[in-house]
A and B are shown apart, each in its own frame.
Chain A
Amino acid sequence: MNFDPRYSGRNFASVGTRPIRPDGVDKVTGRARYGADFNMAGQLVGRVLRSPHAHATIRKIDTSKAEKLNGVKAVITAADLPDLTDGDAALYDILDNCMARKKALYDGHAVAAVAAVDARTARQALQLIEVDYEVLPHVTDVDEAMKHSAPVLNDTIFTEGLEQKPVKPSNVTKRSQYGHGDIHEGFGRADYVVERSFKTEQTHQGYIEPHACVASVSSDGTADLWVCTQGHFVYRQHCAQLLGMEASKLRVTSSEIGGGFGGKTHVWAEPVALALSRKAGRPVKLVMTRDEVFRASGPTSATSIDVRIGARKDGTITAAEATLRYSCGPYAGMWAELGAMTAFACYNLANVRTVGYEVLVNRPKTAAYRAPSAPMAAFAVESAVDELAKEIGMDPVEFRIRNAAQEGTRSSYGPVYGPIGIGPTLEAAKNHPHMKAPLGENQGRGMACGFWFNFGGQTCTDLNIGMDGSVSLAVGTVDVGGSRASLSLVAAEELGIAYEQVKAVVADTSSLGYNDMTDGSRGTFSSSMATISAARNAIKVLRERAAQMWDIPVDDVVWENGHAIAKGEKYGNLAALSLKEIAAGSGKTGGPIAGHSELVADGAGVSFATHICDIEVDPETGATKVLRYTVVQDAGKAVHPTYVEGQYQGGAAQGIGWALNEEYVYGKDGRLQNPGFLDYRIPVCSDLPMIDTQILEIPNPNHPYGVRGVGETSIVPPLAAIANAVSNAAGVRMTHIPMSPPRILAAIEAERGGRWSK
């Protein structure tokens, strides 16, 4: 990489300001085009037939009647999507999830699809497809699935990571372990030990926009895909490989995105739409219903976690351990492993051990959800930390500060930390007015910390300077939270021009080199690095052109505040040339002026946050009201502070929903009982207080501006902060998420009963 990413400590003119986002007007006027807003001439309607069974062998699928229905142009099954994954197990799982092959593995698993002239005909055709199922015993609970008596979903899976290779297949795909020191010795030195078990139910990312795409395969083998995604280059790779196409012949254009949060990081319906289009010879639009989104796309894991933490009287933690069991849906994952890595990452621990178990269940394929797996682990650990502080008689913030990781601490997942921000977020929380505000009757305050890794990835950016001096910035990371505004600020900063002179767009896959998707909090971190690099390359060209215009050596031209300046007394009479002037003459000095960059943005730097929450609990009904909420998080450098605050607030809002209401409810038949926003209740504005934010800026040494990712960490502490607040308000430790009114009421009544029986 010919680019020095080290932090330079410069002063900023544009970065750190709050201009209006370039996509704002279109979004508030309804002009912005999302996945379902695109149409093509001759377009058909795609619909998917889904299994009504949680677990069933597919004996036979008869599509003949559907094919004969007037208006039906194509019917496909797994036979139309043969296995081209070439031994790539993860991609095979994605393929099988897109279209079941031998078995339906969860309620809602796709088994066939049709393309028809209209939605009514497509629905009728689905009813004419005859599937012969052999219904099998199912299991949807993570703890039940680990029992020897549980039905085994996949008899080719033998648990990885055990000391002795197992002889029987199991629903546990892998055991992972992290930690260091001697926990037995550590617990032996503890004056106080807290040991608790916790559960969290499965939640959906709850993106408002369902999965949607339009696929068009031409008879010459080329294809276009318009799609709502977090990573159109990744979707191109997946689709091309699954359909046996060359990637360059598939152009994927990303639409605006109505939320993804990790749920749009791999393909779901897109290969199906392409296969239908290929078979029908016409474009196909496929839009999931909300029911399908819940039943068949991206929930997070349900978990079952045991935590034990010991500390001395002086408040020093001597040992900590956790056993984490995470559901993966029917396919292998690394969800428990991520929980095991992140569980104790906030703390300086001499003795720590975490063990993760990945567990297959008859539920949809687990997908990432904003700092995947970390919120559940933090819920368990931060609840136990709070309880331990109480037992010792220490203030929970002081207890955490005493044990917080710092530079030089060996992290619980292995490496030694460089400069990190957990201490400053705790100090800021301690000194925040929120911590001193009075509480009323039945009200409680909770706080908690959270950690996430953040990462970068492959990134490519083009910066083109028009002859009028305006700048087009083409990026390949999908804008999920205002990154076009942030990246325009970065381009303006480097070039020394006004923000309004820059127009950023997300380019399609045929117009730009490969980009990893927008995940891992990487969008602004990575693409800002590439934008800085591209702008610097463009400045090099601008200096060369100015040198030509002046007929002087390029080494005598410097770039300052948006102008080329001839340095040295001998050029005293030369007036500075603006970017606009140089651009206007570009046709006569060598043609278009552009800067390009392709790089791997690494060194994103780990991220920490501390949240504070006040809750009121109605002891008669168990109902809760969030009274006040504060997020403190390190951003490295907030490029556009409003959108950093938006990420903090969004993570907290989703965490509040997860903590208090959201839950997949399965019946005994293994079918999802609440696949809709009426019965699966995400928070709306009236459920939430103003979420206050405090941005800390501890520069990332591996980014020229000090930027860190901010998109994910904000969802890590809320479950625990809210659980601590509810526990303090209700006077009983809450151990099961979501803390819905019936669950809180049951806990209060059990506590009252316990007290009375004594």
Chain B
Amino acid sequence: MVEVTLWGSLGAIAGGKSKVEIEAKDIRELFRKLAEQYPGFEPYIDRGIAVAIDGTIYRDTWSKELPKGAEIFLLPRLAGG
């Protein structure tokens, strides 16, 4: 079980929660279970969500494992120049 912190817009979809607990071993499973529990997340996942694991931001490595006790933070997918 990992604790996942949501940014504002996602929190609103999760019924006002800023944190949710999910049983997931990697980013792929995290997104799948988030979409199952909160269908409103799906368009955001399609648009792109970045996952910060202990401060390091992952945008596309869905195989990245979620270590036990790690800080998991969801962020919007960033644009760059």
Residues of A participating in the B interface, judged by any CB pair closer than 8 Å: 1, 90, 160-161, 174, 176-178, 205, 261-263, 265, 334, 337-338, 341, 367-372, 411, 413-418, 453-458, 519-522, 600, 602-606, 702, 712
Contacts and interface: CB of A to CB of B under 8 A. Distances in A.
A455 B81 contact: no
Interface residues of B, number: 26
A169 to B, nearest CB: 19
Given A414-B73, A415-B71, A600-B60, A368 B55 contact: no
B56 A605 contact: yes
Contacts of A368: 79-81
Contacts of A161: 8-9, 12
Contacts of B66: none
Contacts of B31: none
A358 B15 CA distance: 24
A141 B80 CA distance: 24
Nearest to A340: B8
Contacts of B12: 161
Given A177-B8, A416-B71, A602 B79 contact: no
Given A160-B9, A455-B57, 12 more contacts: A263-B81, A338-B79, A369-B81, A371-B81, A414-B5, A415-B75, A456-B59, A519-B81, A520-B78, A522-B80, A600-B61, A602-B58
B59 A418 contact: no
Interface of B: 5, 7-9, 12, 47, 50, 52, 54-61, 63-64, 71, 73, 75-76, 78-81
B55 A455 contact: no
Given A161-B9, A602-B64, A712 B81 contact: yes
Contacts of A605: 56
A626 B56 CA distance: 37
Contacts of B57: 415, 453, 455, 602-604, 606
Contacts of B63: 1
Contacts of A414: 5, 7, 52, 73, 75
B52 A415 contact: yes
A370 B81 contact: yes
Contact of A458 (B55, B58, B60, B71): B60
B78 A262 contact: no
Given A161-B12, A178-B8, A605-B56, A372 B73 contact: no
Nearest to B80: A520
B56 A418 contact: yes
B9 A417 contact: no
Contact of B79 (A177, A334, A416): A334
A365 to B, nearest CB: 13
A601 to B, nearest CB: 9
A600 B59 CA distance: 9
